[in-house]
Homo-oligomer: A and B are copies of this chain.
């Protein structure tokens, strides 16, 4: 009996994820996906008629991983500082589990940004409400004044970029000790939270 995990469809999705992540939509070959899944090309097309459809399935699956958790934090009742801490924790936690996401998403959104449009609509994302929350906290004197776009960019950059640039970090910062890279990623949440709080919280 086959569990859902090793059904052919699951094997294909897993293989396709690996190949698409490693090679991108353009670089991925259907033959390679079939090989990685341990099946043949005919059966691969039998399940997912075209490369486009298969890619779409993978891509939307990856995106769905990231959005919902962030949204619930944003819409909660916590203080702005607490929300920032929660978002950093959630981001780093997700990225440690799925470190390939940033590189993959960046590559594909640069190739075809139209996918982003659909997603923003689909998830009903509204950045203005986030900007408002941040500006209200500044009005109350909780955090230093700066454009919300800059604050968000700073936080997301520090969370995401070290994963997008993993090969570079691995080589420049940790070329002698690869296991130190894992330790580094595990420290990120704590470091970023402290860094941001020192940067923006006004001490009384």
Closest to A170 in B: B113
In the complex, besides A146-B191, A198-B198, A198-B199, 9 extra interface pairs with C-beta distance below 8 angstroms are: A26-B27, A106-B107, A113-B167, A116-B167, A120-B171, A120-B172, A125-B172, A147-B187, A153-B161
CA distance A162 to B184 in the complex (A): 22
A107 touches which one: B107, B147, B184, B196 (CB < 8 A)?
B107
A196 touches which one: B24, B26, B184, B199 (CB < 8 A)?
B199
Say yes or no for A46: interface residue by CB 8 A criterion: no
Say yes or no for A82: interface residue by CB 8 A criterion: no
Closest to A103 in B: B110
B27 contacts A154, C-beta separation under 8 Å: no
Given contacts A156-B161, A167-B116, A168-B116, contact A173 B110 (CB under 8 A): no
Listed from nearest, the 4 A-B pairs whose CB atoms lie closest are A157-B161, A199-B199, A161-B161, A113-B167
Given contacts A157-B161, A157-B162, A171-B116, contact A150 B110 (CB under 8 A): no
CA distance A150 to B162 in the complex (A): 10
Where chain A touches its partner, the secondary structure class is: helix
* Binary interface encoding of chain A residues 141-162 relative to chain B, with 1 for a CB under 8 A from any of its CBs, else 0: 0001011011011101110111
- Chain B hits for A27, CB < 8 A: 26, 111
Say yes or no for A109: interface residue by CB 8 A criterion: yes
Say yes or no for A164: interface residue by CB 8 A criterion: yes
B144 contacts A198, C-beta separation under 8 Å: yes
CA distance A200 to B174 in the complex (A): 23
Instruction: Give the distance to chain B from A20, nearest Cβ to Cβ, in Å.
Output: 13
- Chain B hits for A117, CB < 8 A: 171
For chain A, residues 58 to 97, give those with C-beta under 8 angstroms from any C-beta of chain B: none
Q: Can you name 27 A-B residue pairings with CB atoms under 8 Å?
A: A23-B26, A23-B111, A24-B24, A26-B26, A27-B111, A103-B110, A106-B165, A107-B107, A109-B167, A116-B167, A116-B171, A117-B171, A120-B171, A144-B198, A146-B194, A147-B187, A147-B191, A150-B187, A152-B173, A153-B161, A154-B192, A157-B160, A157-B161, A160-B165, A164-B164, A195-B199, A198-B200
